[in-house]
Each structure stands twice: as structure tokens, then as C-alpha cells.
């Protein structure tokens, strides 16, 4: 049997596409119908704003105050010109030329002697070549002279120092006094300085050191030099 239906006339072939287009169209119409609003014309009031009344402002009248001009300055005082008679003679200073010509006599200059100023060189007691000699320490090597000098100075200070002074000053216990002095190029004692717990002890230490006898000065490379010397003085105050 021969089919009479045309295969190209199949309606169900695009049914899903038609269904989607119709569904989208119905949703759009339903949304538009829901959101559509109408207004009553009688409720709309159109107001007219009149700005002419507000722009008219009263401008206050102002009067410009004119300040009077400043008074003219007082006239300048006339200059007083004093006429002085030209009686004083002014001596002119004449500057002589220092240029020398052939007729100028040349004076021979004698030799100028320059005196050498000896510097006061200080050499420490520990490194000096020839130590200062205390009276009674002339014999022996340099090391023995140093030892002899230290012992002689210690005995001299112990004999001359007033140890009762600390008790009179109200001090107790062990007292230490640091003394520094110099033996100059002539062997005399100079530059005595002392540091102690009390100014009275410092004064007594300076007094005793200044009583040291004159010594034979120390020498460095055959020349007399100044030698600094430090001496600690320690004693116990009897309670």
C-alpha cells in the first residue's frame, strides 16, 4: 500500500522549540500584566514655583566714610653750617720708597744667635736610665738605688707624718693617701699633689713631702730631667 502522507509535513518534529517560545512569551505577558500600574489624573497636582518674589531683596544703603588726609610733615630744620677758619696746618705723611738703586750702601748683617730653649722633659721613675739619688743611696746599681730611694722616702714619711691627725678629724679604720710629686732637674721637690678621704690628711701629706731633702736629679741620655714619683701612704687609725 502506498503512503499518502508527506514526510516533510511532520508537525511533531519541532514541537519542543515551539513549546519553549510559547512559554517564554506567556511569562513575559504575565510579568507585564502584574507590574502594570495606572494613576488617577485627579490626584496629580502640578505646583508652579514663583521665584520673582524671593529674588527681590532690599539692599541696605551704605555711606562711604571719607577719612581726612594726614597732616603735612613739619618743615625740616635748617642746617647750621659752621665756618671754621683754616688756621691748623696738617702735616702730610711722606712714605719713602723702599726700592734700592746702585748707589745705596749695603750694610752687612752680623750672624744671629738663636738661643736653644731647653724643654722640661719628664721621664717616668720606672724607665729612667739614671734614677734620682736620695741622700745615702749613692752606691750600687740603678735598681739598688731605686729600692734604696723608696725605702728612705717611706721611713722619712713614717717618721714625719702625724698619724694622730686622723683620730682628731673623727676618722677611723684604714686610711689611704695617694701622693704624686716631681723631682725636677735640680733635685728639688715640686708639684706635690695629694688625694685623701679628708682635706686635713691631704694637707698633712703635702707638708711632709715638701720636707724631703734635695736629691741628685735623674738623668736620661746624660741630661738632667724631671722625674715624677707616686707614693701611697696607708695607716690604721687606732680606736
Q: Name the least confident of 61-65, 178-182, 217-221.
A: 61-65
pLDDT digits (tens, 9 = 90+) for 144-186: 988 999 999 999 998 988 888 888 888 888 888 999 999 999 9
Averaged pLDDT of the chain: 76
Domains and CATH numbers, the chain: 142-237 (3.30.1150)
Q: Which three cell numbers stand for residue 198?
A: 679628708
Q: Which three cell numbers stand for residue 51?
A: 521665584
Strands (E), 187-226: 189-195, 219-220, 223-224
Q: What is the predicted pLDDT for the residue at 10?
A: 61
pLDDT digits (tens, 9 = 90+) for 190-208: 999 999 888 988 999 999 9
List, in order, residues 6 or more apart from 201 with CB less than 8 Å away.
Answer: 165, 166, 169, 171, 175, 177, 194
Give the C-alpha distances (Å, rounded to integers) separating 114 from 118, 131, 223. 12, 32, 21
Which residue from 239, 192, 188 is spatially nearest to 217, judged by alpha carbons? 188
Asked if the model's pLDDT at residue 84 lies above 70, the reply is no
pLDDT digits (tens, 9 = 90+) for 6-20: 656 565 667 788 888
Q: What is the predicted pLDDT for the residue at 216?
A: 92
Q: Which three cell numbers stand for residue 237?
A: 687609725
Q: What is the predicted pLDDT for the residue at 13?
A: 66
pLDDT digits (tens, 9 = 90+) for 23-45: 888 888 888 888 877 666 555 55
Amino acid at each position: 500500500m502506498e503512503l499518502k502522507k508527506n514526510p516533510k509535513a511532520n508537525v511533531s518534529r519541532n514541537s519542543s522549540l515551539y513549546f519553549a517560545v510559547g512559554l517564554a512569551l506567556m511569562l513575559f505577558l504575565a510579568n507585564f500584566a502584574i507590574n502594570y500600574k495606572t494613576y488617577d489624573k485627579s490626584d496629580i497636582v502640578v505646583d508652579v514655583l514663583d521665584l520673582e518674589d524671593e529674588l527681590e531683596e532690599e539692599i541696605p544703603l551704605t555711606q562711604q566714610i571719607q577719612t581726612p588726609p594726614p597732616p603735612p610733615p613739619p618743615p625740616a630744620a635748617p642746617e647750621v653750617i659752621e665756618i671754621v677758619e683754616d688756621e691748623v696746618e696738617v702735616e702730610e705723611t711722606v712714605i719713602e720708597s723702599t726700592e734700592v738703586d746702585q748707589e745705596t750702601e749695603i750694610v752687612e748683617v752680623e750672624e744671629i744667635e738663636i738661643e736653644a730653649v731647653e724643654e722640661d722633659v719628664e721621664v717616668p721613675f720606672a724607665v729612667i736610665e739614671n734614677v734620682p739619688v736620695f741622700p745615702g743611696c749613692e752606691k750600687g746599681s740603678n735598681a739598688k738605688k731605686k729600692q734604696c730611694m723608696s725605702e728612705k722616702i717611706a721611713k722619712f714619711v713614717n717618721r714625719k707624718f702625724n698619724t694622730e691627725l686622723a683620730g682628731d678629724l673623727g676618722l677611723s679604720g684604714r686610711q689611704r693617701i695617694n701622693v704624686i710629686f716631681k723631682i725636677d732637674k735640680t733635685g728639688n721637690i715640686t708639684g706635690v699633689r695629694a688625694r685623701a678621704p679628708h682635706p686635713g690628711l691631704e694637707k698633712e701629706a703635702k707638708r711632709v713631702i715638701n720636707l724631703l731633702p734635695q736629691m741628685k736629679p735623674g738623668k736620661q741620655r746624660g741630661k738632667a730631667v724631671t722625674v715624677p714619683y707616686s707614693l701611697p701612704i696607708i695607716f690604721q687609725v687606732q680606736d
